[in-house]
A and B are shown apart, each in its own frame.
Chain A
């Protein structure tokens, strides 16, 4: 697509439920990143995918968080047994692959509220 698409734009869930957030990157972008931004805070790196390589999961805050990327394109971030501290805006970005000089393009984010 022309831009990075994220869905849903807003999600309200009850504590303890599982949620799935979706990111559809720009066509041809092999690198995909997930970030979390809590209210009034900076961007917190979560996970990075590059092509068919094993993802860099070093930013995932707990084992309740996982992500996959199917066919090198769409990515899903799953949060199991959601907690109130998971409430944040989840941002996805994509870029051309490593070793290039391209920049990052962000989606509009998913605002997650855990009640």
Chain B
């Protein structure tokens, strides 16, 4: 059974810091890994999607990397801003079975001015 772990569970930093959020998974048989952002009481917004054959994806101040063989992904946030405050979740899409994605519990990020 796939298990996805996100570390740290919570993070509070001053504005301007560069951040690294970690996501690890136990089964490397995945199609892709997706990072989401969730604001309180809201749905999930997709940030980055990395295919299993890719090593990284970039969007603006965000960079996500994937090391499938070691079961790890990182989300790098450059020059953090208060507007980045949210919960960040990663999800892996399996290659077999019922194709149901497995989510981590998320990292709750607060960026204070």
Contact = CB atoms under 8 A, between A and B. Distances in A.
Interface of A: 6, 31, 33, 42-43, 45, 48, 50, 56, 58, 89, 91, 93, 98, 100-101, 103-109, 111
Interface in B53-101: 89, 91, 93, 98-101
B104 A42 contact: yes
Contacts of B103: 42-43
Contacts of A45: 100
B28 interface: no
Q: By DSSP majority rule, is chain B's interface helix, strand, loop, or mixed? A: strand
B44 A101 contact: no
Chain A interface, DSSP helix/strand/loop, else mixed: strand
Given A42-B104, A103-B49, A48 B42 contact: no
Nearest to A92: B43
B26 interface: no
A48 B34 contact: no
Given A42-B104, A42-B105, A89-B41, A105 B99 contact: no
Given A56-B98, A101-B51, A91 B46 contact: no
27 contacts: A33-B100, A33-B101, A42-B89, A42-B103, A42-B104, A42-B105, A45-B100, A48-B98, A48-B100, A56-B98, A56-B100, A58-B98, A91-B43, A98-B99, A100-B31, A101-B31, A101-B51, A103-B32, A103-B34, A104-B91, A104-B101, A106-B45, A107-B43, A108-B42, A108-B43, A109-B43, A111-B41
